[in-house]
A and B are shown apart, each in its own frame.
Chain A
Amino acid sequence: MNDASQSLTTRVEPLKADAHIVLATFLNDEPTLVLTDGQILIGADRLTPHGENAILMASCDGTRLITGGDDGKIFLFNAKDSAIEAGNEKGRWIDALALGPSQSIAWSAGKKVIARDGRGQLKEWAAPSTAQGLAFAPKGYRLGIAHYNGASFWFPNTEGKPEFREWKGSHLDITFSDDGRFVVTSMQENTLHGWRLTDGKDMRMSGYPSKTRSFSWSHDGHWLATSGADAAVIWPFKDKDGPMGKAPRECGVRHAKVSSVAFHPRALVLAIGYEDGCILLCRLSDAAELLVRAAHKDDGKITSMTWDKTGARLIFGSENGAAGVLTLP
């Protein structure tokens, strides 16, 4: 890694931030940082819709950004000058957020789950226990909700009871595969659980030394990269059985735990952020590595990384407010 030709460190432009970074992303191609102290930095603009309250959660799909705070408010940004208050849970902490198809969004506070469609119509469902993670299915208006002892799948526009898939333990984050065939949750017990939605078959993906809190699907939908181990653990999802009976790949093995992962939008290249502030790029085909950022222990763990839509730039942020943009040569 000492060879300068294998390093991209000189191509990183630092960004100024001075609080825990909840989300580092590109909103309409502008580098965007969401900070816990309530600031939202979009390009050169600084917005504070939550006032001095903390922002706990944020999510962005490239054209929309949502933030949820400990003031119970949800703000939705379509462009940098059009923040709207999409919801208000009156002082309750927002635990989870999701962006869905056709301009829909969802959020949760405790057991209360709210889905808001593109026309602003709200639907509410009470989860059996706190909704810890939310994700929309890639097609249709359907929300996956991770909670204690399983996950529920809710069509907000139908009256029927959400479908419940049981698996003992506390489920945290949830993600759907791009083709909608699989859903995966991370768990308090340092493991992942998956369901094949076509037949409900369970998949257990275990062996992590800590919790997985970052997921990223490859552009072709064939791979799911995960944080939580001393390497990025990448599960194969191409075949009809997904990762069942298969070993995962490992990329970027170091003596530090991976805290954030982000697949390149066009190539099988994974950005891997670690708990010590280091960032590597790793190519799946030959496991070749490039250093983006050397370890800086004082910066804390990398909390968020996102590629822009063409994959020319990668933005990142850390728990102690270090941030920057890598521009590929």
Chain B
Amino acid sequence: MSDLLELRGLTAHYGDFQALFGVDLTLARGETLAIIGANGAGKTTLMRAITGIARVTAGSVALDGRQIDRLAAPDILRAGIAMVPEGRRLFPSLTVEENLRIGAHARQGNGFWTLERIFDLFPILRERRSHPGTALSGGQQQMVAIGRALMSNPSVLLCDELSLGLAPVVIKEIYAAFPTIRESGASIVVVEQDIGQALKIADHVHCMMEGRITLSGRPQDLSREAIHDAYFGVSHA
């Protein structure tokens, strides 16, 4: 597997507050990567820095060998990175179908994902296509947000806190779509507080704390204790 996305020494600030401290991370083609960590660990900032919403103050982001960290957010989307933002952020003035179609706003040419394929992935959205996006349940809104990101046919799909505020049965339903998304050719990064879910779907897990990656490895190689310690910042030293 060759590296598709490569972060080197990524640093980001909110005003004077430094939120990321030299994060190194690679995502191989076809891989699913999970980033776990407590609130305020810098996971969302990391997603925002990759997509150009938060400004990168040092370090680099490369996609397929091309440096993209100086590009504006709309150009990073065009380069092939789409995001399902935290809190879903559907457009309230748009219907479900319009929310999905706007995901393809910048798309050129054909790709795997079409409106019909999104409806096949999440059949409930076909029935609700003319409802306002924000009139749906939380889980259905999350499906729209995922579909909307897929409509750009991204090579990298970033998912920020998919399970936040959703019932376990709904989370399971949403993650059931991931094998299909992987098969479509997208490499995936999920940010999760739900450690169990993250370990289940990921090839690699990184744990973040205070803007740094404190633990990395394959799920099967990481002990529960090591993850617990990295997550909560417990030191046995």
Query: Does B associate with A?
Result: no
Q: Footprint of B on A, CB under 8 Å?
A: none
Q: Footprint of A on B, CB under 8 Å?
A: none
